[in-house]
Protein backbone atom coordinates (compact mmCIF):
# COMPACT_ATOMS: atom_id res chain seq x y z
CA UNK A 1 0.00 0.00 0.00
CA UNK A 2 1.52 3.34 -1.00
CA UNK A 3 0.39 6.91 -0.43
CA UNK A 4 -3.30 6.51 -1.03
CA UNK A 5 -6.49 7.49 0.69
CA UNK A 6 -8.57 4.71 2.14
CA UNK A 7 -11.89 6.46 2.78
CA UNK A 8 -15.21 6.18 1.00
CA UNK A 9 -15.47 9.57 -0.71
CA UNK A 10 -19.17 9.26 -1.58
CA UNK A 11 -20.68 8.92 1.87
CA UNK A 12 -21.36 12.11 3.85
CA UNK A 13 -19.78 12.75 7.24
CA UNK A 14 -21.25 14.15 10.42
CA UNK A 15 -20.69 17.92 10.26
CA UNK A 16 -18.66 18.09 13.47
CA UNK A 17 -16.27 15.23 12.73
CA UNK A 18 -12.57 16.20 12.49
CA UNK A 19 -10.79 15.63 9.20
CA UNK A 20 -8.14 13.15 10.31
CA UNK A 21 -4.99 12.00 8.55
CA UNK A 22 -2.71 9.14 9.58
CA UNK A 23 0.70 9.09 7.90
CA UNK A 24 2.49 5.79 8.45
CA UNK A 25 6.19 5.83 7.63
CA UNK A 26 8.59 2.95 7.11
CA UNK A 27 10.18 0.40 4.83
CA UNK A 28 8.38 -2.96 4.91
CA UNK A 29 11.61 -4.70 3.81
CA UNK A 30 13.68 -3.53 6.79
CA UNK A 31 12.64 -5.44 9.91
CA UNK A 32 11.07 -3.23 12.56
CA UNK A 33 10.91 -0.30 10.14
CA UNK A 34 7.83 -2.10 8.77
CA UNK A 35 5.81 -0.94 11.81
CA UNK A 36 4.35 2.08 9.99
CA UNK A 37 3.22 0.15 6.90
CA UNK A 38 1.86 -2.69 9.06
CA UNK A 39 -0.18 -0.20 11.10
CA UNK A 40 -1.47 1.38 7.88
CA UNK A 41 -2.64 -2.03 6.65
CA UNK A 42 -4.25 -2.91 9.97
CA UNK A 43 -5.96 0.47 10.26
CA UNK A 44 -7.26 0.34 6.68
CA UNK A 45 -8.61 -3.15 7.24
CA UNK A 46 -10.36 -1.91 10.39
CA UNK A 47 -11.72 1.11 8.48
CA UNK A 48 -13.03 -1.06 5.65
CA UNK A 49 -14.91 -3.16 8.22
CA UNK A 50 -16.70 -0.12 9.68
CA UNK A 51 -20.33 0.23 8.77
CA UNK A 52 -22.00 3.48 7.81
CA UNK A 53 -24.14 5.23 10.41
CA UNK A 54 -27.95 4.73 10.19
CA UNK A 55 -28.25 8.14 8.47
CA UNK A 56 -25.83 6.98 5.74
CA UNK A 57 -22.87 9.01 6.99
CA UNK A 58 -19.42 7.53 7.51
CA UNK A 59 -18.45 7.08 11.16
CA UNK A 60 -14.99 8.65 10.66
CA UNK A 61 -13.31 11.11 8.30
CA UNK A 62 -10.05 9.22 8.17
CA UNK A 63 -7.42 9.17 5.45
CA UNK A 64 -4.46 6.83 5.73
CA UNK A 65 -1.24 7.44 3.83
CA UNK A 66 1.78 5.16 3.84
CA UNK A 67 5.22 6.00 2.50
CA UNK A 68 8.81 4.93 3.13
CA UNK A 69 9.78 8.38 4.42
CA UNK A 70 8.32 11.82 4.98
CA UNK A 71 8.98 14.20 2.11
CA UNK A 72 8.19 17.88 1.58
CA UNK A 73 5.29 16.91 -0.69
CA UNK A 74 3.47 15.50 2.34
CA UNK A 75 2.90 19.09 3.49
CA UNK A 76 0.19 19.25 0.82
CA UNK A 77 -1.50 16.23 2.40
CA UNK A 78 -1.91 18.25 5.61
CA UNK A 79 -4.12 20.84 3.90
CA UNK A 80 -7.74 20.80 5.01
CA UNK A 81 -6.96 18.48 7.93
CA UNK A 82 -7.90 19.12 11.54
CA UNK A 83 -5.48 16.59 12.98
CA UNK A 84 -2.72 14.23 11.91
CA UNK A 85 -1.03 11.23 13.48
CA UNK A 86 2.44 10.25 12.27
CA UNK A 87 3.42 6.62 12.95
CA UNK A 88 7.06 5.55 12.69
CA UNK A 89 9.62 3.16 14.16
CA UNK A 90 12.49 4.63 16.17
CA UNK A 91 15.87 3.03 16.74
CA UNK A 92 16.71 4.94 19.92
CA UNK A 93 14.00 5.59 22.47
CA UNK A 94 13.42 4.43 26.02
CA UNK A 95 9.81 3.27 26.01
CA UNK A 96 8.44 0.71 23.52
CA UNK A 97 5.53 3.08 22.69
CA UNK A 98 5.88 6.84 22.83
CA UNK A 99 3.30 9.54 22.00
CA UNK A 100 4.51 13.09 21.41
CA UNK A 101 2.68 16.24 20.43
CA UNK A 102 4.33 17.69 17.32
CA UNK A 103 4.84 21.44 16.95
CA UNK A 104 5.95 23.30 13.83
CA UNK A 105 9.72 23.82 13.72
CA UNK A 106 12.32 24.36 11.03
CA UNK A 107 15.06 22.91 13.23
CA UNK A 108 16.50 19.44 12.80
CA UNK A 109 18.22 17.93 9.79
CA UNK A 110 18.20 20.10 6.69
CA UNK A 111 14.89 19.88 4.84
CA UNK A 112 15.43 18.21 1.49
CA UNK A 113 13.18 17.01 -1.27
CA UNK A 114 13.75 13.45 -0.04
CA UNK A 115 13.31 13.67 3.72
CA UNK A 116 11.94 15.86 6.50
CA UNK A 117 10.53 15.52 10.02
CA UNK A 118 6.90 15.87 11.15
CA UNK A 119 7.80 19.22 12.78
CA UNK A 120 9.30 20.44 9.53
CA UNK A 121 6.15 19.44 7.61
CA UNK A 122 4.06 21.55 9.99
CA UNK A 123 6.54 24.40 9.52
CA UNK A 124 6.12 24.12 5.74
CA UNK A 125 2.35 24.44 6.17
CA UNK A 126 2.75 27.71 8.03
CA UNK A 127 5.65 29.32 6.18
CA UNK A 128 5.41 27.95 2.65
CA UNK A 129 1.78 27.03 2.07
CA UNK A 130 0.62 29.77 4.47
CA UNK A 131 -2.04 27.62 6.07
CA UNK A 132 -2.46 26.71 9.72
CA UNK A 133 -1.03 23.27 10.43
CA UNK A 134 -3.30 20.60 11.88
CA UNK A 135 -3.09 19.41 15.46
CA UNK A 136 -0.34 16.79 15.26
CA UNK A 137 0.92 13.77 17.19
CA UNK A 138 3.77 11.34 16.62
CA UNK A 139 3.47 7.72 17.67
CA UNK A 140 6.94 6.20 17.69
CA UNK A 141 7.58 2.54 18.33
CA UNK A 142 10.96 1.32 19.55
CA UNK A 143 12.61 -0.90 16.99
CA UNK A 144 15.41 -3.39 17.54
CA UNK A 145 16.48 -4.33 14.02
CA UNK A 146 16.27 -2.51 10.71
CA UNK A 147 18.29 -4.83 8.48
CA UNK A 148 17.18 -5.42 4.90
CA UNK A 149 15.12 -8.62 4.69
CA UNK A 150 14.77 -9.03 8.46
CA UNK A 151 11.35 -9.88 9.93
CA UNK A 152 9.54 -7.68 12.43
CA UNK A 153 10.83 -8.49 15.93
CA UNK A 154 8.65 -9.91 18.69
CA UNK A 155 9.34 -6.74 20.72
CA UNK A 156 8.04 -4.54 17.89
CA UNK A 157 4.96 -6.72 17.47
CA UNK A 158 4.29 -6.36 21.21
CA UNK A 159 4.70 -2.57 20.98
CA UNK A 160 2.30 -2.45 18.04
CA UNK A 161 -0.26 -4.50 19.96
CA UNK A 162 0.18 -2.21 22.96
CA UNK A 163 -0.47 0.90 20.85
CA UNK A 164 -3.45 -0.43 18.84
CA UNK A 165 -6.25 0.43 21.28
CA UNK A 166 -4.86 3.94 21.78
CA UNK A 167 -4.79 4.51 18.02
CA UNK A 168 -8.39 3.34 17.65
CA UNK A 169 -9.47 5.54 20.55
CA UNK A 170 -7.74 8.53 18.96
CA UNK A 171 -9.19 8.07 15.46
CA UNK A 172 -12.71 7.39 16.76
CA UNK A 173 -12.90 10.37 19.13
CA UNK A 174 -14.09 13.60 17.52
CA UNK A 175 -12.07 15.81 19.92
CA UNK A 176 -9.69 17.52 17.50
CA UNK A 177 -7.15 18.48 20.15
CA UNK A 178 -7.61 15.43 22.34
CA UNK A 179 -4.50 13.56 23.25
CA UNK A 180 -4.26 9.84 22.69
CA UNK A 181 -5.21 7.91 25.79
CA UNK A 182 -4.64 4.30 26.73
CA UNK A 183 -3.52 2.82 30.02
CA UNK A 184 -1.03 0.56 28.23
CA UNK A 185 0.34 3.29 25.95
CA UNK A 186 0.08 6.54 27.86
CA UNK A 187 1.11 9.58 25.84
CA UNK A 188 4.40 11.27 26.54
CA UNK A 189 4.59 15.03 26.04
CA UNK A 190 7.76 16.26 24.38
In a domain, 82, yes or no: yes
In a domain, 87, yes or no: yes
In a domain, 73, yes or no: yes
DSSP E strands: which ranges in the chain?
A: 20-25, 62-67, 83-90, 97-102, 135-142
How many domains is the chain built from?
1
Decide if pLDDT at 37 tops 50.
yes
Count H helices and E strands in the chain, helices first.
Answer: 4, 5
In a domain, 98, yes or no: yes
In a domain, 15, yes or no: no
In a domain, 116, yes or no: no
CA dihedral angle for residue 76, residue 2, residue 40, residue 145, rounded to 10 degrees: -110
Residue 89 is part of which domain span?
A: 20-103+135-185
Tens digits of residue pLDDT in 92-115 = 888 999 999 998 887 665 565 557
What pTM does this model have?
A: 0.81
pLDDT-derived band at 36 (thresholds 50, 70, 90) equals very high
In a domain, 112, yes or no: no
In a domain, 14, yes or no: no
Decide if pLDDT at 61 tops 50.
yes
> Could you tell me which residue, 168 or 154, shows the higher pLDDT?
154
Q: Give the CATH number of the domain where residue 38 resides.
A: 3.40.50.1450
> How many other CB atoms sit within 10 Å of the CB of residue 52?
12
Amino acid sequence: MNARSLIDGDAPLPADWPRTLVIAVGNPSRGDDAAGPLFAERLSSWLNDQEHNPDGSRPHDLTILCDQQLMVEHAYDLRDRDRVLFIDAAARQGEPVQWQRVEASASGPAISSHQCTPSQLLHLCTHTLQIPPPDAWLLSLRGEGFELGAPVSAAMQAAMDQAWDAILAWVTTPDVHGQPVNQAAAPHHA
